[in-house]
Amino acid sequence: MGNSNPILKIAGIVGAFLIVLIAFFGFFRFFNLVLSPLSYMLSIFYMIFGLTLLAVEVAPSWFLSEAILRWASFLGTLIGRGLVYLYIGLLYVTGGAQNGVTSWTYLIIGIYLLLLAIANFVVGYVDIQTVQCASVASVFAMGFTSIKNVFDLELSSVINSASMAGPQSSTIGAQSFTPGERPQSTGFKARVQNMWGKVTEGDPVYIRILGTLAAIGIIVVSILSCFNFANSVLNPLTYILIVFYLIFGIILCFIEIMPSSGVTNWFVERAAFLGTLTGRGLLYLYLGLLFIGGGSQNGASSWAYIVLGIYLVVIAIIFMISGWRLSSNRAAGSLPNSRV
């Protein structure tokens, strides 16, 4: 886990502890469950996020921290944790501004988390640049002789591969085929079918359809809500959540609709839980509960939030049950980022 700066490490531990502390006190404000269900729901998730960050910051080699980093490897980087601090910090600041002077603690801790996020971004970026410079320097240190040997090795492997190829193999452009067989289509439709088929093989198709509808629903409701600019002043917490809903919806759209695309692979490499039904089910559950809490808090006019939230919770249950059933039939040594 990249965090060689002791000051930043201490600051991260303090930030995670403050998240847990404030969420703990917010959890026991039971009247919020009726008056402000969204805030109460967020307090529960703040506590979960804070405990997760605290485990990673304090004891990254602990077995629980290793399990967390196995499924969410982005938390093992400064920039990754900075994104989480940025997310929670913005929610704290907007939540405090929404509730007035009585929530000054949310404002102060939110500002601290935002500063911590910026520090993580800066130090993480500097570390990446340092590693890249060291890598470039090592490449130049190899000398032209070593580079020439690499090219010679590549050239010999290409020649050997060409000599081993059978005479019956032919090519059209970049695609090889055997005489008597019809070359496979390489158009847009074929690429989409290929991206879909690679992952849905052995996976119920209805799962992908339900997930796709959920992701599209999140995007549509978020976009429509973004045009309610009055919320940015009257209800800043809800408005900033809408922005994050839109981001989550776009990510889920890539994963559900184009599971074999480069964008999806990039996300799954850094958050392996997104490549599993159970992991995405937990994310749908998180979003669904927030949608329900936000809709019930804002009255009947937010029926779209409640309907979408209920759908997401149902989808989450289906995903987690299906994921559990499929994972129970797999070999024990399957990789965490193997898509189910």
229-284 tens-digit pLDDT:
666 667 788 889 999 999 999 999 999 998 888 999 999 999 999 999 999 999 99
- The string over 153-172, giving b where at least 16 C-beta atoms fall within 10 Å of a residue's C-beta and e elsewhere, is eeeeeeeeeeeeeeeeeeee
Residue 299's φ and ψ, nearest 5 degrees, are 95, -175
The first and second tokens of residue 5, run together, are 């700066």
CA distance 110 to 33: 22
The CA R_g of the chain, rounded to the nearest whole Å, is: 24
pLDDT at 68 over 70: yes
DSSP E strands: which ranges in 164-314?
A: 170-172, 175-177
Q: Would you report the helix, strand and coil content of the chain in percent, each value rounded to 5? A: 80, 0, 20
pLDDT at 21 over 60: yes
Whole-number mean pLDDT of the chain? 78
302-327 tens-digit pLDDT:
788 899 999 999 999 999 999 888 87
The first and second tokens of residue 200, run together, are 């849905």
pLDDT at 204 over 90: no
- pTM recorded for the entire structure: 0.76
